[in-house]
Amino acid sequence: MSNIAPKTKIQTIGFVRLLVLGASLSLFGAALSILLDADTHPKPSFLYPSISITVTCSFLVYYAGNAYAKRNYPLASLIWTVCLVLTTALPFLQLLPIEYDNEVLLHIKYLSPPIWLYSVSFPILLFLILEIRIKDSTQIPLSVFPIGLSVLSSIILMFFSSALIASIGNDSELIMLPMTLFLSSAIPILITCLIVSITVLTKKGYILVGTTSLILIGLAVEYFSTLLYGGPYFIESSSYIPYPGFPILPVLAGTIPGIVLVLAGIAIGREIFFNSIETLNEIVPTNVK
């Protein structure tokens, strides 16, 4: 067991560095995308605060990664938490369950960038924060592959779900239904949080519960995505107006990430099974002697 823990720690540090780089680059790319699309925005100057905040968070995320490598976990966790809160709050300024019926509220809405821009950084930052906050339960080693597969699933789900909602909102009355729009946007975020949380718990040693949950959530996401194949059933016009992007968007937003999540759960279970057999093979000869 003493040989397993250091190896696992090295893998974790390398994996965290990779995630930090991915989150930092994705935030920088998000800021660049906002800047390039500013000309199409009703109030281009209103996007400058979002650009500044996103760029700053990009550098802060990378800086916190260096703090993590130096074992300054409280500082890294604090910086990542602040960046997560800021980059989550920005896109939701335009999705609040209220009527934007006056100039002040419209100005608040204009400050908000699209949510899909943060679909890579959000799951990664949440994973990094929980990686620090949740303590290890056991020293059972897990390879990077199934954990990375689970994180990838959450990124795919969040990205295409936000793209799906944006597509519906642009072509329907959804933009006039604040609560429906808010819930439609918030539910994929909550599912992403659930996937990432269970992934970290599984990595920390809660194997049985984590593996089972990943598989069940993956199957549930697959099933509910099939309900959208015929169109956005949660708005009235879907019963008589065909919407472009269906069923491709639901497949990308739910079916594919659901399959990836199930595969991640199976891969973790398989890995634990073979690790247990290998451990038994090491113990039994020692007892026989």
Residue ranges covered by each domain of the chain = 1-133, 140-289
* pLDDT at residue 21, as a whole number: 96
Tens digits of residue pLDDT in 34-52:
999 888 888 888 999 999 9
Tens digits of residue pLDDT in 214-241:
999 999 999 999 998 988 887 888 777 8
Tens digits of residue pLDDT in 92-123:
999 988 888 888 888 888 999 999 999 999 99
Confidence of residue 6 (pLDDT cuts 50, 70, 90): very low
Is residue 287 predicted with pLDDT exceeding 60?
Answer: no
Q: What is the mean pLDDT of the chain?
A: 88
**CA–CA distance, 102 with 107 (Å, rounded to integer):** 9
**CA–CA distance, 23 with 28 (Å, rounded to integer):** 9
Helices (H) and strands (E) in the chain, counts: 10, 0
Residues 6+ apart with CB under 8 A from 67: 73, 75, 76, 79
* pLDDT at residue 51, as a whole number: 95
Confidence of residue 284 (pLDDT cuts 50, 70, 90): low
